[in-house]
Amino acid sequence: MACCRRVKVLINSLRTSFTSTPLLRSPFRDSSSIIFPNFGSSWISSTKVSGFSSYSSISQRLGISTRYHHNPFSNVSKRFYFVDRHQVHHFRPRGPRRWIQNPRNVLIVVLVGSGVLITVYFGNLETVPYTKRKHFVLLSKDMEKKLGETQFEQLKAEFKGKILPAIHPESVRVRLIAKDIIDSLQKGLSHDQIWSDLEYASPETSLKHDVMTTFSGREEELGINWSRQDEILDDKWVQQSRKESREKGSMSKPTTTHLEGLNWEVLVINEPVVNAMCLPGGKIVVFTGLLKHFRTDSEIATILGHEVAHAVARHIAETITKNLWFGILQLILYQFIMPDLVNTMSTLFFRLPFSRRMELEADYIGLLLLSSAGYDPRTAPKVYEKLGKVAKDSTLQDYLSTHPSGKKRAQLLAQAQVMEEALMIYREVSAGRGVEGFL
């Protein structure tokens, strides 16, 4: 009996201590509402004030379920879990649920994205005349034309006062040769489109037989002592693409819509620069420095044919598209490799080889335009070799430059199959029989 009395006294003292005001409150205990279904409401209200951490341990020993609600005024971090009816704590991920965690959403995005990419790719896939090479061009034809016209106006503003008048002998000569090249282009495409006559741009214009036999005995003159195995550029890809085009038939018609409705203009600038260019939109620019080194009409026709070929093949628009993809690839590689190394490797293995291939393609198309205009295509190899000497080609030009060396270009044109076709066209034109549709 004495033991029972002592136990009762101890329990009464414990109850009295719990109902009294605490002397010390834990700063890490949040004032959470706790539900006790088996006790009276008066006792529960008193326990809400206590805040002793020991009370939490007592409730856990008694097996009482608790639910915590976040108190915004408490310094304790928010609890991202809830308790189900089986007293199991379920943890929720922090933040909103991401869409990528849903397999259905991922599948929809992949299917829609793939459809868009396929549509954009095949919708902008074009065929280059003659070589029948497929290339992907994102830049629209109207935008390409506007870029060419804008650059043309900038050149006129930059060289204001140095532009030769239309009646100058050099201007008349260049304009007549360019007209022959443009006429041959129209024959080569065999389209019934009517182009405006070639004009001389005003400075005030506002922006609105067997090839080996033919070259026998001249190998040393042209420098044709080479091994095809050692050449980094060859024309195998040209013949391969043309073969695939013949197999596909009418499905691989060359893209020439960008040439429709062009207002061809010629500008001769009195500047000692050995250069010429044909901007998108049919704007031809020639510097007098080039005319001092190349005096014959055939030589000038070779260079103009090459420059016009760049416009025919849309090389500027293709370069802009390629640079876009190269830029995206570089941004990805920047995350893993040093930027300087990425830029160097991208230039050596992507940009420069691509540029040299475009120059070779322009050489081939220009050679056909040259022969169709009535100029001897056998002049072209000598022109490119001479151009290399003027530009002082180095041994590393075939690897570290946007253009192949003049010697290599001469070698390729002299032995390429395109020279056979060009000579055939030249003979037909010389005999008074025009050749159409050769592009």
Rounded CA gap, 424 and 371, in Å?
A: 9
pTM of the complete model:
0.69
- 63 by DSSP, 3-state: which? coil
Q: Which residues pair with 91 in a beta bridge?
A: 81
Q: Specify burial of residue 316 (Cβ count, 10 A radius: 0-12, 13-18, 19+).
A: buried
Asked if 314 contacts 299 with a C-beta cutoff of 8 angstroms, the reply is: no
Give the count of beta carbons closer than 10 Å to the beta carbon of residue 412: 24
Q: What are φ and ψ of residue 107, in 5° steps?
A: -65, -40
Residues near 402 by beta carbon (within 8 Å), at least 6 away in sequence: 352, 355, 356, 359
Token pair for residue 110? 């992949």
Condensed to tens digits (0 to 9), the pLDDT of residues 211-268 reads 444 444 444 444 434 333 334 456 666 767 777 766 666 556 778 888 888 889 999 9
Query: pLDDT tens digits for 74-131?
Result: 555 555 566 777 877 766 655 556 677 788 888 999 999 999 999 999 889 998 888 8
> What's the token pair of residue 434?
């025009």
- Is residue 256 within 8 Å of residue 263, measured between CB atoms? no
Contact in structure between 195 and 182 (CB atoms under 8 Å): yes
Q: Are 327 and 380 in contact (CB under 8 A)?
A: no
Rounded to 5 degrees, φ, ψ at 98 are -80, 145
Q: Which of the two residues, 300 and 240, has the higher pLDDT score?
A: 300
Catalytic residue IDs: 307
Q: What integer is the mean pLDDT of 280-308?
A: 94
Residue 393 has pLDDT above 50, yes or no: yes
Per-residue pLDDT, 255: 82
| Burial state string for 104-124 with b = 16 or more CB within 10 A and e = fewer than 16 | eeeeeeeeeeeeeeeeeeeee
Angle at alpha carbon of residue 79, lines to 74 and 82, rounded to 5°? 130
Share of the chain above pLDDT 70, in %: 66
In single-letter form, the type of residue at position 183 comes to D
Distance CA 139, CA 239 (A): 27
Confidence category of residue 345, pLDDT binned at 50, 70, 90: confident
3-state secondary structure 299-318: HHHHHHHHHHHHHHCCHHHH
Pairing assessment for the beta strands 81-83 and 199-200 based on DSSP bridges: unpaired
Q: What is the mean pLDDT of the chain?
A: 76
Q: How far apart are CA 47 and CA 66, in angstroms?
A: 14
Q: Rounded distance, CA 249 to CA 243, Å?
A: 10
How large a percentage of the chain has pLDDT more than 90? Answer: 34
Tell me the two tokens of residue 317.
């628009």
The domains of the chain are located at: 157-191+254-438
pLDDT of 328 strictly over 50 = yes
